Chains A and B, each alone.
Chain A
Amino acid sequence: MRYPTLAAGLLMASAMAAQAQTPVLHVLTYDSFVAEWGPGPQIEAAFEAECGCDLQFAAPGDAAAMLSRLMLEGARTNVDVVVGLDTNLTAQAAPLMAPHGVETALDLPITWEDPLFLPFDWSWFAFVYDTTRTPTPPASFRELIDSDLSVVIQDPRSSTPGLGLLMWVKAAYGDEAAAIWRGLAPRILTVTPGWSEAYGLFLEGEADMVLSYTTSPAYHVIAEGDATKAAARFDEGHYLQVEVASIVGSTDQPDLARQFMAFLASDAAQAILPETNWMYPAVTPEGGLAEGFQGLIRPETSLLFPADEALALRDPALAEWREALAQ
């Protein structure tokens, strides 16, 4: 094959040219993080201004794709830092990681102590609805079951929010989870491969509610001036998505990687995240949050399985889900 050799030659030439000048920090993340409108470009500019290095993002898809990319590359990976795994995925990644060494007081609704994974933003999973179409949303899974509303959810086998909902029902109902899923089955319009398809169907008016985040309505308020989207508060409490960053043990830039972790927890980075990633910052920046975040619901009960428990629960919970919905 001609192309690989040609490309390999080009690669070597350009890599040598770059190495001679500045150290490079390779950061693996998910694709919406590095999009033009995501936090990536601003984070890159701010960090490069202080580190005298070249920050390079790689984004092979969503968070799960990122994890499988890391596993595929194995020991050969050139990744120094991974940004964007959540607690449903960290247990599998943990053996590859090294301590981050950052000690900062985090503004999370739960206590967090993990030497390997440092939260950088978070939100609660929630069903988002349109206030003009659904004036009185359900206040629990049971009320949703008894309603005539249609919801669209993501497949837990292909998407992290889908996996989050699976854990939410499991955390709230334990052994009754299968019964809840059987009750929900008629309410579920369809199950999509990822968040985008589900949210798209909701915006098109195909479904009354969609599984998303309590912070999703902030996007519509701040970016579109549209206050008709809201998240429904459920009495059972809401499952958390905590997005974390970690240093890959095999990194050849350990100091730079630690510097980046500290930077990620600093005001400079945290102030960028809310209005680019549409999640809560892990450390509230000095300026506080934009007004669009003030009207959001804030659940009193937060649910979250420890990472190893989430991994152990996944397969039985998936089987339960599949059987309940396949009937």
Chain B
Amino acid sequence: MTRAAPPLLKGAAVLVAAALVLLNLGALAAVAWRAEGGAGWGAADWAALRFTLWQACLSAVFSVALAIPVARALARRRFAGRGALIVLMGTPFILPVLVAVIGLLAVMGRNGLMNDLLALAGLPRLSIYGLQGVVLAHVFFNLPLAVRLLLQGWARIPAEHLRLAAALGFGASARFRHVEGPMLARVVPGALAVVFLICLTSFAVALTLGGGPRATTLELAIYQAFRFDFDLGHAALLAAVQAGIGLAALLLLARLTLPEGRVAGLDRLAPPAPGGLARVLDGAAIGASALFLLVPLGMVLIRGLPWLGDLSAVVWWAALRSVATAALSTALLAVFAGVLTLIALTRRWPEALGMAALTASPLVIGTGLFLIVNPWVDPARLALPVTALVNAAMALPFALRALLPAARRAEADFARLSASLGLSAGAHARLVLWPRLRRPAGFALGLGAALSMGDLGVIVLFAQTGNETLPMQMHRLMGAYRSGESAGAAVLLLALSLGAFVALERMVGGRDAET
């Protein structure tokens, strides 16, 4: 039972859709348009394609598989500091790549803590460089996201199911088969697809930790085509292949996604979680993942905190600009995500469209927009708004993954009830949807703000002296031998990203918005 969308909403949806199509396809088309001559596809491109697919598959499988026990433990245990731990554990995902890699190396690198411990125990040092390093770093980035997505799945299991399972005396395996398994079957394909798509366009991580040209991704090949060869045709071809893989993954996801549960629930309290061995295992899962995710962050803090006081004024100005960009980007994201979520209750296309931003190469979007804008306006004047727009589109897939399942669940549970009560569309949205969507909405907007704060993608091409953002300034410090100040800027960036995330999640999501 669904109701028709009001005309205003339909109009807004068309506008949002047009903006997203322009961003994704328009940019690629602009690059291809400027290309001269045909583009070849060589042996090196095949190698890049193979490596890209392989590392993205491995990264997705490991991230999601490891996230399952962690999410389950966090979903059913209550302990002091649980909310703060969940927020902190999400940090790697919102960190700029460079900062995260430095933190990771401080723990897992050749001179890292872990290898020092191994050496103390008389064991050989392990090397992080190679495919294992690429996958490890991608798990580091994406485990937090996968945990969050699965955690929302657990939160949406109707409490009645858990109560019934407890009343019937279900063991762990029966509970998994009848309650958790069906939920995972709905959530896991989406999580896998999201992580796969993120890793598909990986560039700096794959290169820095990959150990050499074996670890060449398509995005690096695009980068090379743009910068040294200035072969726009080749760049467009590579980007089209990359987008094609992403779209194929999304189509596969659409086929695999099961409809939201046929059994309704009524938002009641869950029964207590099982004790004994399950309790110990849950503790181990939470402890291990917290160590894995938080120790590298601690190393970033330790290195950077002493420098925080020495940061020059340009760094603080850059921080202010980053905050402004993130604010604009979050506002755009709220519009995009809100409109698409409401429309997606009755149609399928908004979900696919919103996810499509993940399949595009950031470099191609940046270059394409540059080509589109350049004849009309000095691109430097548009650096911040364009960055905000692109960041909003880039964060949209994550926002939709958080919002859509919750919205569909709410519709499945309450649409008939509110229709039988004769609620108007507005009242239904305010009284039924919003209370159930505000938590994922807080998460989505917080994520969008944090991602935008740390972004170093599009802005570089557009920026001119005087409008640098904090990630750019941090990169510049590092490029001028000033690694200390750069570490200080990294701490500032970490604090701003995390602060924006927590503030928005609390403001929008409400006080108990930790899941």
Please determine whether A205 and B110 come into contact, CB atoms closer than 8 angstroms: yes
CB-defined contacts of B34 to chain A, threshold 8 Å: 72
Within residues 21 to 56 of chain B, which ones have a CB less than 8 A from any CB in chain A?
Answer: 34, 44, 47
When chains A and B are docked, how far (Å) is the Cα of A206 from the Cα of B224?
Answer: 26
Within residues 175 to 233 of chain A, which ones have a CB less than 8 A from any CB in chain B?
Answer: 185, 188-197, 199-201, 203-207, 216, 219-220, 223
Q: Using known A-B contacts A58-B465, A59-B464, A197-B208, determine if residue A7 contacts B105 with beta carbons closer than 8 Å.
A: no
Please determine whether B211 and A191 come into contact, CB atoms closer than 8 angstroms: yes
Within residues 1 to 21 of chain A, which ones have a CB less than 8 A from any CB in chain B?
Answer: 1, 3-4, 7-8, 10-11
Partner of B109, one of A8, A58, A204: A204
Q: Which one of A60-68, A104-112, A249-257, A286-294 is at the interface?
A: A60-68
Partner of A195, one of B105, B376, B381, B479: B479
B204, B380, B478: which has the most chain A beta carbons within 10 Å? B478
CB-defined contacts of A195 to chain B, threshold 8 Å: 479
Subset of 13 A-B contacts with CB under 8 Å: A35-B477, A56-B465, A58-B380, A58-B464, A155-B220, A188-B211, A190-B208, A190-B212, A191-B211, A199-B478, A199-B481, A200-B486, A204-B105
Within residues 347 to 388 of chain B, which ones have a CB less than 8 A from any CB in chain A?
Answer: 367, 370-371, 373-378, 380-382, 385-386
When chains A and B are docked, how far (Å) is the Cα of A7 from the Cα of B102?
Answer: 38
CB-defined contacts of A35 to chain B, threshold 8 Å: 476-477, 480
Partner of B461, one of A38, A61, A192: A61
Please determine whether B105 and A206 come into contact, CB atoms closer than 8 angstroms: yes
CB-defined contacts of B220 to chain A, threshold 8 Å: 155, 157-158, 193
In the complex, whether A118 has a CB less than 8 A from a CB of chain B is no
Please determine whether B478 and A200 come into contact, CB atoms closer than 8 angstroms: yes
In the complex, whether B279 has a CB less than 8 A from a CB of chain A is no
Please determine whether A68 and B230 come into contact, CB atoms closer than 8 angstroms: yes
Q: Using known A-B contacts A191-B212, A223-B481, determine if residue A36 contacts B312 with beta carbons closer than 8 Å.
A: yes
Please determine whether B213 and A322 come into contact, CB atoms closer than 8 angstroms: yes
Main secondary structure of the interface of B (DSSP, over half): helix
Task: List the 9 shortest-distance A-B pairs measured between CB atoms, nearest first.
Answer: A157-B224, A3-B385, A196-B478, A205-B111, A196-B479, A64-B227, A325-B212, A322-B213, A190-B129
Please determine whether B213 and A191 come into contact, CB atoms closer than 8 angstroms: yes
When chains A and B are docked, how far (Å) is the Cα of A262 from the Cα of B514?
Answer: 62
Please determine whether A72 and B208 come into contact, CB atoms closer than 8 angstroms: no
Q: Using known A-B contacts A190-B129, A193-B207, determine if residue A158 contacts B480 with beta carbons closer than 8 Å.
A: no
When chains A and B are docked, how far (Å) is the Cα of A314 from the Cα of B481?
Answer: 28
In the complex, whether A270 has a CB less than 8 A from a CB of chain B is no
CB-defined contacts of A4 to chain B, threshold 8 Å: 373, 376-377, 382, 385
In the complex, whether A54 has a CB less than 8 A from a CB of chain B is no
Q: Using known A-B contacts A189-B110, A206-B105, determine if residue A59 contacts B465 with beta carbons closer than 8 Å.
A: yes
CB-defined contacts of A203 to chain B, threshold 8 Å: 483
- Interface size of A in residues (CB-CB distance below 8 Å): 68
A-B contacts, CB under 8 A, total: 166
Please determine whether A32 and B377 come into contact, CB atoms closer than 8 angstroms: no
When chains A and B are docked, how far (Å) is the Cα of A147 from the Cα of B151?
Answer: 50
Partner of B228, one of A36, A314, A319, A322: A314
Please determine whether B314 and A36 come into contact, CB atoms closer than 8 angstroms: yes
Please determine whether A191 and B207 come into contact, CB atoms closer than 8 angstroms: yes
Interface residues of B (CB under 8 A from A): 19, 34, 44, 47, 98, 101-102, 105-106, 109-111, 129, 203-204, 207-214, 216, 220-221, 223-224, 226-228, 230, 312, 314, 367, 370-371, 373-378, 380-382, 385-386, 389, 460-465, 472, 475-483, 486
In the complex, whether A37 has a CB less than 8 A from a CB of chain B is yes
Shortest Cβ distance from B307 into chain A, in angstroms? 13
Please determine whether B480 and A32 come into contact, CB atoms closer than 8 angstroms: yes
Please determine whether A189 and B213 come into contact, CB atoms closer than 8 angstroms: no
When chains A and B are docked, how far (Å) is the Cα of A191 from the Cα of B205?
Answer: 11
Partner of B44, one of A34, A64, A322: A322
Shortest Cβ distance from A249 into chain B, in angstroms? 18
Shortest Cβ distance from B26 into chain A, in angstroms? 11
Within residues 252 to 300 of chain A, which ones have a CB less than 8 A from any CB in chain B?
Answer: 278
Interface residues of A (CB under 8 A from B): 1, 3-4, 7-8, 10-11, 31-32, 34-38, 40, 56-62, 64-65, 67-69, 71-73, 76, 78, 92, 150, 155, 157-158, 163, 185, 188-197, 199-201, 203-207, 216, 219-220, 223, 278, 314, 319, 321-322, 325-326
Please determine whether A219 and B481 come into contact, CB atoms closer than 8 angstroms: yes
Shortest Cβ distance from B72 into chain A, in angstroms? 36
When chains A and B are docked, how far (Å) is the Cα of A158 from the Cα of B224?
Answer: 6
Shortest Cβ distance from A165 into chain B, in angstroms? 13
When chains A and B are docked, how far (Å) is the Cα of A73 from the Cα of B221?
Answer: 22
Q: Using known A-B contacts A190-B209, A204-B105, A219-B481, determine if residue A71 contacts B465 with beta carbons closer than 8 Å.
A: no
Please determine whether B226 and A68 come into contact, CB atoms closer than 8 angstroms: yes
When chains A and B are docked, how far (Å) is the Cα of A144 from the Cα of B375?
Answer: 51
B203, B213, B227: which has the most chain A beta carbons within 10 Å? B227
CB-defined contacts of A197 to chain B, threshold 8 Å: 98, 101, 204, 208, 478
Q: Nearest CB to that of B367 among chain A residues?
A: A72
Please determine whether A155 and B483 come into contact, CB atoms closer than 8 angstroms: no
When chains A and B are docked, how far (Å) is the Cα of A196 from the Cα of B506?
Answer: 37
When chains A and B are docked, how far (Å) is the Cα of A40 from the Cα of B464?
Answer: 13
Shortest Cβ distance from B53 into chain A, in angstroms? 17
Shortest Cβ distance from B238 into chain A, in angstroms? 13
Partner of B208, one of A69, A192, A220: A192
